[in-house]
Structure 1
Amino acid sequence: MNGLGPSSDTALSPRAAAPDGVDDGVPLRIALVTPILPVPYDKTRGRYIHETARALSRLATVRVFLPQVRYLRLPGLAPRSFLHGEVGPDYTLDGIDLEPYTYPGIPGVSRATNGMVGGHALIPRLRAFRPDLVLAYWVYPDGYAALRASRRLGVPCIVGARGSDIHVRSGINAHLTRKVLAGADQVLTVSEAMRAAAIETFGAHPAKVRTIVNGIDTAVFHPRERAAMRAQLGVDADVRLLVYVGRFVESKGLMELLQAFAAIAGRDPRARLALVGDGVMRRQLPELLRAHGIEAQVYLPGGMEPTGVAEWIGASDVLTLPSWSEGYPNVVVEAIACGCPVVVSDVGGAGEIVRKGNGLLVSPRDPAALERALEVALDADWDRAAMAASMRRGWHDVAVDTLDACTRVLAGFRASGR
C-alpha cells in the first residue's frame, strides 16, 4: 500500500480475537496522534483538536500522543512558520490522557524523513497502549508516522486533515501527503471544500473521505453584553472595534489587515483593532504598527484560553479573518455563535459558514476589498440574536460522528480479514 502496507507483526489490539464487528460492550481503544495541541508557548494552537479529543474521551478509551520534533540547534536553521518549543513528558491538558514525546529532526532538511523517523518513535508507544485503531490529525508528517505504525501493529488508521496540511502543500510534502491519503483506511476533513481538495488534488478515493464539521463550546461562545465586556477589558464604550483571533503569521492575512485597518483608522478616530493570538510575527508587529501609524489604536492581548477569546469577541463589532487559506475556520463559527458578524476570506470551508445574515466574504490578499467589506460590516444593522441561534453544533456531536467513523472503519477492517 504505497510502501505503507501491513507488516508481518501480529496485531496487538485487545479485540484481535473478537469476531467481526465491534459492539462487544468494551469501549473502543483509540490512539489519537497529533502535533497540534495547545502548549504554554502557543495557547491557541490546536484548540479544536483538544476539544475533539476531550469529547471523544467521554465515549471511548483515548490516549493522545503528542509528537514533537527535537530540532538540532544549527545556526540559521529554525522553523519559520510556527512558534517552536517543547513540552516534557509530564505535560498535561484538561480532559485527555496525554503522552508527549520527541524525535530528532533538522528544520527543512529532514522534512522528507520526519514521517519515517516519527513512525519509529511512535511504534513502541502504540504497542504499549494496544489500540483498536489509530486516529491521526495532521496529514504529514504525523499522519504518515501514524499510518506506518498502525500497519506495523496490524490495526486500521484514520487520518484527519485540518487545513494547511492539504491546502498548503508542495514538493516532497505534496508527494508524501498523497501517499498518506491513498494509504489511510479513511480520511476525515472538516469541510466539503477540503474533501474536494483531498479527492481532486491528492487523488483520495471519494468513498474513503468523510466530512465531519467542527463544533463549538456553546457554554463559552454565546452572546455577551458588549458594554460589559468592554468595561471589563478596558475598551472605550464608543469605539468601533474589529477583532482578529489566530496565529500571527503572514498567511493569515495580517499584512493585508493592517493595511486595511490603517485606511479605516485614518478616516475614523474611533476605529480600534484587537489582535488576539501569538505567532512568529509577534516581534515584528510593534514595528509594523508604528509604520502604519496605528500603534495607539491596536490592542495586543496575546494568546488566550477560549473564555478570553469569547470576551474579546463579545466586546467587538466585527470579527475578521483574512487568511490566504483555511480548512474550516472555527473562530468564524465561534464569532457567529457570539452574535458577532464576520468578514472572512472566501477560502476553504469559509463559504460553508458565512452567508448573507452573518457576514461577508472577500477575496484573499486584497486589502482594498477587505477595507470596503469591513466598513460595510461595521455600518450594517445585523440581527445578532438570529445569527447566534444558528450555530449550535457542539463538541459532543463531533465526538459522536468521529466515533461512528472509527467504529465503521474497524468493522470493515475486520471484515476484510486484515
Structure 2
Amino acid sequence: MRILVVTSQFPIAGEPNRGRPLLQTISALSRLADVRVVSPVAMYPAWARPNSYLFRAPDATTRQVDGCEVTYAPYPAVPLLSRPLNGWLCGRAVGRAIAGFAPDVMLSYWLYPDAYGAMLAARRAGVPLVSGARGSDLRVRDQVSRLLTRPVLSASRRLLVVSDDLGNVAVERYDMDPERIRVIPNGCDASIFHPASRAEARRELGIASEAQLIAYVGRLVPEKGLNELLDAVQSLSGACPQLELAMIGDGPMRSEIAERLQAEPRLRVHMAGAQAPAEVARWMAAANLVTLPSYSEGHPNVLVEALACGRAVVATDVGGIPEVVDDGCGILVRPRDAAALAHALTRALDRDWDEKALSRRFSRDWNAVASDTLQACKEAVGETRRALRADVRDADVRAADAQGAEAAHRVSSVHS
C-alpha cells in the first residue's frame, strides 16, 4: 500500500523534536508500507512571525528523517489574516509536492490546515482521506478553524485519535460517526525508556544525590502550565531547600523563564534545552518524579515514557491524561492552580513509589501503533472501493432503466 502522510507536526530545523510521536509512528509504518511524508511549512513575513514555535526555514526541500523521505512544502501565511485560506494554500503546496507519487490513501495529522489541504489533494487524486487528531486541533477555540475542521471530519473515512476522550469530542462537537473513529494510543520505545539507576544518572548530569528533582519535558509555552509550575516550585523552595526543577525542552518562553530565574535566585532550575530521546530518558531516571501541568492534552507520550522509566507523575486532570494516570502511578490536579499543584508535588515526593510496578504499566510499542494505523488505512481504501463499485452498479442500473424506458417508448410509438 502506498501512503502519503501530510503533517506539519514533524521535525523542522528550529524544532528537531517537533512531533516526535508522529515521527515514531510513521517510521514504524514505513516498514509496513510504501510511505512518503509531506510536511507543510507556513512561511510568515519576518514582521508577522508568531511566537507559537521557534521558526527556521527548512534546511532542505527533501531529506531523510529516521528512514522517512520527507518533502517540506512551504506556503505563504499571515497570522489571523490568512487563517481562512491556510487550508487551501496548504492543499496547493501539498499538490505540488506529491507529483510523481500515486498514493492509495492520504493520511494527515493535524486537522486544520494540514488535513484540510490533504482533503483537497485527496479529492484531486481520487483517493480516500484518513485524518489524525492530536488534541488541540479538535478542541479549537476560534470560530474559523472550528468551521473549517468540520468538512475535514465529514470527508475522513477514518479519524484516528489517541484517547477515548478525543473520540468523544469528535462525536459531541462535530457529529462524527463513532463507527469511523479509531482510538490508537501512543506507543513507547522500551529500548530507551526503562528503569535505570537514579544515582548513576545524577552523576552523569551533575545533580546532587540529595536533591528532590522534579522533571518537566515538553515545549516551553504557557499552555503547558509552566507559570503555575514555577509558582508552585517557588512556594515550596523555602520549606524544601533540596527542591530542584529540570526543564527539558525549548520554546518561546525560554527567555521569559531565564529572566524570572535571574530575578528569583531561590528557584533552582536546570534549563536543559531540547534533548534527544536517550537524554530525556536520562533526565527522567535522575528525577524523583515527572510533571505535566498542561491546560489541555490528548494522550501525552511524555507521561507514558516517564512511567516506563519507573517515575511517578503529577499532571492535570485534562483531556486523555486520566486514561494514562491514576492513583496507582501519580496524582491528578486541576489545571491553572499553582497551590493545588504545589500540594500534589509535595505528596508525590513524600510517597514511596514502586518503580518496577510503574514501569510495567505500558508495554505497547510503536510497531503496534503502526499496525493499527495501517489497518485503519486499509479499511478506508476498502470502503472507498466498495462505494465506487456500488456507484458503478447504480450507474449501470440507471443506464439500463433509461435504455429500457427508451425501448418501451419506441414500441409504444410503433403500436400507436
If the length of structure 1 is used for normalisation, what is the TM-score? 0.91
Deviations 1:300-350 (A, max 9, x none): 010011111110001000100000000111100000000000001011110
**Distance (whole Å) between structure 2 residues aligned to residue 67 and residue 294 of structure 1:** 43
372, 375, 382: which one aligns with 2:346: 375
**Poorly superposed stretches of 4+, deviation over 6 Å:** none
Deviations 1:243-273 (A, max 9, x none): 0000000000000000000011121110000
Deviations 1:51-105 (A, max 9, x none): 00000000000001111011123x3x22122222221214431121111121111
Within a 5 Å distance, the mapping from 1:2-401 to structure 2 comes to 28-73=1-46, 75=47, 77-87=48-58, 88-295=60-267, 297-401=268-372
225-234 or 82-91: which moved more? 82-91
Q: Quick check: which one's helix share is greater?
A: 2
Cα distance, 1:43 vs structure 2: 2.6
What is the aligned partner in structure 1 of residue 411 from structure 2? Answer: none
> Which one-letter code corresponds to 2:118 in the other structure?
A
* Number of equivalences: 388
Larger Rg: 2
Is the Cα contact below 8 Å between 1:127 and 1:153 reproduced in 2?
no
> Which one-letter code corresponds to 1:245 in the other structure?
V
Deviations 1:359-405 (A, max 9, x none): 01111001000000000000101111011012110000000000010
What is the aligned partner in structure 1 of residue 395 from structure 2? Answer: none
284-293 or 329-338: which moved more? 284-293
**Distance (whole Å) between structure 2 residues aligned to residue 196 and residue 256 of structure 1:** 28
Is the Cα contact below 8 Å between 2:63 and 2:69 reproduced in 1?
no
> Which one-letter code corresponds to 2:92 in the other structure?
H
What is the aligned partner in structure 2 of residue 405 from structure 1? Answer: 376
Is the Cα contact below 8 Å between 1:258 and 1:289 reproduced in 2?
no
SS at match of 1:216: coil
Cα distance, 1:201 vs structure 2: 1.3
Is the Cα contact below 8 Å between 1:190 and 1:328 reproduced in 2?
yes
* Gaps in structure 1 of 5+ consecutive residues: 1-27
> Which one-letter code corresponds to 2:135 in the other structure?
G
**Distance (whole Å) between structure 1 residues aligned to residue 141 and residue 113 of structure 2:** 12
Cα distance, 1:203 vs structure 2: 2.0
* Gaps in structure 2 of 5+ consecutive residues: 392-416
**Distance (whole Å) between structure 1 residues aligned to residue 248 and residue 87 of structure 2:** 32
| Percent of pairs with identical residues | 43
**Distance (whole Å) between structure 1 residues aligned to residue 97 and residue 2 of structure 2:** 14
> Which one-letter code corresponds to 1:134 in the other structure?
M
**Distance (whole Å) between structure 2 residues aligned to residue 37 and residue 266 of structure 1:** 41
Is the Cα contact below 8 Å between 1:346 and 1:363 reproduced in 2?
yes
**Distance (whole Å) between structure 2 residues aligned to residue 313 and residue 185 of structure 1:** 39
Is the Cα contact below 8 Å between 2:73 and 2:97 reproduced in 1?
no
